[in-house]
Structure 1
Amino acid sequence: MAASLLPPANQILSQSKAHTLSLLERCSDMEKVKQVHAQMIKTGFVRDIIPASRLLSFCIATSNSCSLAYARMVFNGICQPNTFMWNTMIRGYSNSKDPKEALILYCQMLHNSAPLNAYTFPFLLKSCANLSALEETQQIHCQIIKNGFGLEVFAANSLLHVYVKSGCISSARQLFDRIPHRDTVSWNSMINGYAKNGEIKNARELFCQMPARNVISWTSMIAGCVECGLFKEALNLFQEMQVAGIEPDNIALVSALSACAQLGALDQGRWIHAYIDKNQISIDPILSCILVDMYAKCGDVEEAFSVFTKIEDKSVAAWTAMITGFATHGRGREALELFMEMKKAGIKPNEITFTGVLTACSYAGLVEEGKLIFKSMKRTCDASPLIEHYGCMVDLLGRAGLLKEAEELIETMPMKPNAAVWGALLRACHIHGNYDLGMRVGNILIKLDPGHGGRYVHLASVFAAAGKWNEAVMVRKLMKDRGVSKLPGCSLIDLNGTVHEFFAGDQSHPNTEEIYYTWDRILERLRQEGYVPTTENLLLDLEEEEKEAAIHHHSEKLAIAFGLINTNPGTTIRVIKNLRVCKDCHTATKLISKVYACEIVVRDRTRFHLFKDGNCSCRDYW
Structure 2
Amino acid sequence: MKVACCSPELNVPCLGTPRTRFGSEEAHLILQKCSNFKQLKQVHGRIIRFGLIYDQLLMRNLIQLSSSYGKLNYATLVFDQLNAPDTFTWNVMIRANTIGGSPKMALLLFKAMLSQGFAPDKFTYPFVISACVASNALDLGRLTHALAIKMGFWSDLYVQTNVMNLYFKCHEVDDGWKVFDKMRVRNVFAWTSVIAGFVACGSLDTARKLFEKMPSKNVVSWTAMIDGYVKHERPIEAFNLFERMLVDDVRPNEYTVVSLVRACTEMGSLKLGRRIHDFVLKNNFDLGPFLGTALIDMYSKCGSLDEARKVFDLMQVRTLATWNTMITSLGVHGFRDEAISLFEEMVKANEVPDAITFVGVLSACIYVNDTQLAQKYFNLMTDHYGITPILEHYTCMVEIYTRAVELDEFYTPGSALEANHDVAELLHKSKLTNIDDIKKLVQKQYEDLDASELVIDHSSMSSEPQLSSSRRLHIDIGQTST
TM-score tier after normalising by the smaller chain length: 0.7 to 0.9
CA offset digits 1:425-465 (Å, max 9, x no partner): xxxxxxxxxx96667x99xxxxxxxxxxxxxxxxxxxxxxx
TM-score (norm 2): 0.72
Equivalent AA in structure 2 for residue 73 of structure 1: D
Asked if 2 retains the 8 angstrom alpha-carbon contact of 1:191 and 1:207, the reply is yes
1:334-376 deviations in whole A, cap 9, x for unaligned? 44444454455554443333333444454x4x11x2x234323
Q: Give the aligned partner of residue 288 of structure 2.
A: 284
In structure 2, the CA distance between the partners of 1:372 and 1:237, relative to structure 1 (3 Å rule), is farther
Counterpart residue identity of residue 379, structure 1:
N
**Is the 1:378–1:384 contact (alpha carbons within 8 Å) kept by the matching residues of 2?**
no
Matched, 1:379 2:354: no
Call closer, same or farther: CA 1:268–1:108 in 2, change over 3 Å: same
2:183 to 175, 179, 182: 179
SS of residue in 2 equivalent to 1:154? helix
Q: Secondary structure at the match of 1:211?
A: coil
Which secondary structure does the structure 2 equivalent of 1:255 belong to?
A: helix
Q: Cα gap change, 1:360/1:495 in structure 2, threshold over 3 Å: closer, same or farther?
A: farther
State the 1:210 CA deviation.
Answer: 1.6
User: Residue 275 of structure 2: SS of its match in structure 1?
Assistant: helix
**Per-residue deviation, residues 500-522 of structure 1 (Å, max 9, x unmatched):** 9xxxxxxxxxxxxxxxxxxxxxx
State the alpha-carbon separation in 2 of the partners of residues 101 and 409 from structure 1. 40
Question: Which residue type is aligned with residue 414 of structure 1?
Answer: L
Q: Any conservation in 2 of the 1:196–1:227 contact (CA below 8 Å)?
A: no
Q: Which structure 2 segments of 5+ residues have no match?
A: 1-20, 35-39, 414-418, 431-448, 456-463, 476-482
CA distance in 1, matches of 2:26, 2:348: 51
Contact kept? 2:103, 2:134, Cα under 8 Å: yes
2:78 equivalent in structure 1: 71
1:103 is aligned to 107
User: For residues 385 and 33 of structure 1, do their structure 2 counterparts lie closer, same or farther at Cα, with a shift above 3 Å needed?
Assistant: closer
- 1:283: how far off? 2.1
Quote the residue 1:414 is aligned against. Answer: 427
User: How far 1:261 sits from its partner (Å)?
Assistant: 1.7
Say whether 1:39 aligns with 2:43: no
Give 1 or 2 for the bigger CA radius of gyration. 1
Distance in 1 (CA, whole Å) between partners of 2:159 and 2:234 is 34
Asked if structure 2 preserves the Cα contact closer than 8 Å seen for 1:94 and 1:102, the reply is yes
Distance 2:420 2:332 in 1: 27
Partner of 1:231: 235
Asked if 2 retains the 8 angstrom alpha-carbon contact of 1:60 and 1:67, the reply is: no
**Alignment partner of 2:261 out of 254, 257, 276:** 257
- In the other structure, the counterpart of 1:295 is 299
Corresponding letter in the other structure for 1:85: T
TM-superposition CA deviations, 1:277-331 (whole Å, max 9, x none): 3333222212211111112222222211111222234433323322333345454
1:568-587, aligned counterparts within 5 Å? none
Q: One-letter code of the match for 2:235? A: F
CA contact (8 A) 2:398 2:423 kept: no
**In structure 1, distance between residues paired with 2:153 and 2:86:** 19
2:272 counterpart SS class: helix
User: Residue deviations 1:534-565, cap 9 Å, x none?
Assistant: xxxxxxxxxxxxxxxxxxxxxxxxxxxxxxxx
The equivalent of 2:93 in structure 1 is 89
Per-residue deviation, 1:200: 1.8
> How many angstroms apart in 1 are the aligned matches of 2:353 and 2:87?
49
Partner of 2:328: 324
Offset from partner CA, 1:213-245 (integer Å, 9 cap, x none): 112112222222222222333333333322222
Corresponding residue SS for 2:467: strand
Query: How many Å apart are 1:257 and its aligned residue?
Result: 0.8
When residues 222 and 292 of structure 1 are mapped into structure 2, their CA distance, relative to the original with a 3 A threshold, is same
Counterpart in 2 of 1:240? 244
Task: Pick closer, same or farther for the CA change 1:373–1:164 going to 2, 3 Å.
Answer: farther
The verdict on how the C-alpha distance between 1:87 and 1:306 changes in structure 2, with shifts beyond 3 A counting, is: closer
Q: State the 1:140 CA deviation.
A: 0.6
Cross-structure match for 1:188: 192
Q: Percent identity?
A: 30
Comparing 85-94 with 124-133, greater Cα deviation is found at: 85-94
- Of 198, 207, 226 in structure 2, the residue corresponding to residue 222 of structure 1 is 226
Cα distance in 2 for residues equivalent to 1:375 and 1:247: 50
